Amino acid sequence: MKLMGSKEKIIQAYDQIIWEKFFALARDIQTQNDYNFENEELMFSALSVRGSKLSSEEFERLEYLGDSIYGALVGLILFNKFKQFSPKELTNYRSKVAQNSYLSKLSSKLSLERIGSILQIGDLSDGQLADLFEAYVGAIFRDTGSDFNKTMDIISSMIDFDELSEQVSDKPWKDRDVKGYLINQIQKQYGNKFKPLYSLEQSGPQNAPDFVGTLAIQNIDTGEILEKPRIISGKNNSKKNAEKECALNLLLQWEKEGKLIE
């Protein structure tokens, strides 16, 4: 990535060594997120955190844009992915992923927190890290030519929505392991000799496979597999998530049918 113009600005505000560290960080961030900026100045502006010698109005504009885009993207992702969630749960979820404490974790995941040391302003607060992340999202959106779908794909890859869903759900299995809760329900309904049986089908390239899970109920002693229920998940990026989706879907089905036993 060439940062024409940025090099001179950083050297003028700091020195050659700072420029080299800044450039290395910019390269690392793009590698980690598997996204290379076409517009070098957008990347530069997104890293010009408030409080540094590089702080500018453009950073604040990107932060404003990123905040707006991120909220809309997350709302749409949640609406499409979690059809079983009530409006209250969707609102709780959106609030969770919009908190400064969560956005700061995303910044750290992308190594954005290193900019504080590089620009000689020390450790960044959660608020500063959240601002950095929002500016970064705004920069990506502009760099893609305001491509909403492409930006949504990039954001989706940063957040483990399935893990967070367990924290915001108001279902009976909230704060519990979903698969463990399902085992408990199966034994209450069918007896201790029954357990969930998961099978997985893999597709896609080896370096980025998709997994579709199937869930049935099996008699441990006889090996017999019950014809019903039979649950199939959507595509997931890991075996663990495919199995969790199957377990969650069966619990939701039983809840709707009034079959859950407390």
| Sheet of 231-232, strand order | 194-203, 210-219, 231-232
Helix (H/G/I), strand (E/B), else coil: 253 = helix
Residue 181 identity: Y
**Residues ≥6 apart with Cβ < 8 Å to 39:** 142, 143
d(CA 248, CA 166): 10
How far apart, in whole angstroms, are the C-alpha atoms of residue 129 and residue 116? 9
Asked about 221 being catalytic, the answer comes back as no
- Decide: 186 and 178 in contact? Cβ < 8 Å: no
Q: Are 26 and 7 in contact (CB under 8 A)?
A: no
CB atoms within 10 A of CB 161: 15
User: Which H, E and C letters describe 79-138, residue by residue?
Assistant: HHHCCCCCHHHHHHHHHHHHCHHHHHHHHHHCCCCHHHHHCCCCCCCHHHHHHHHHHHHH
Q: Which of 67, 89, 131, 245 is catalytic?
A: 67
Query: Which residue out of 63, 89, 131, 134 is catalytically annotated?
Result: 134
* Cα(46)–Cα(140) distance, integer angstroms: 9
In the annotation, is 40 catalytic? no
* Bridge partners (DSSP) listed for residue 218: 195, 225
* Catalytic (active-site) positions: 67, 134
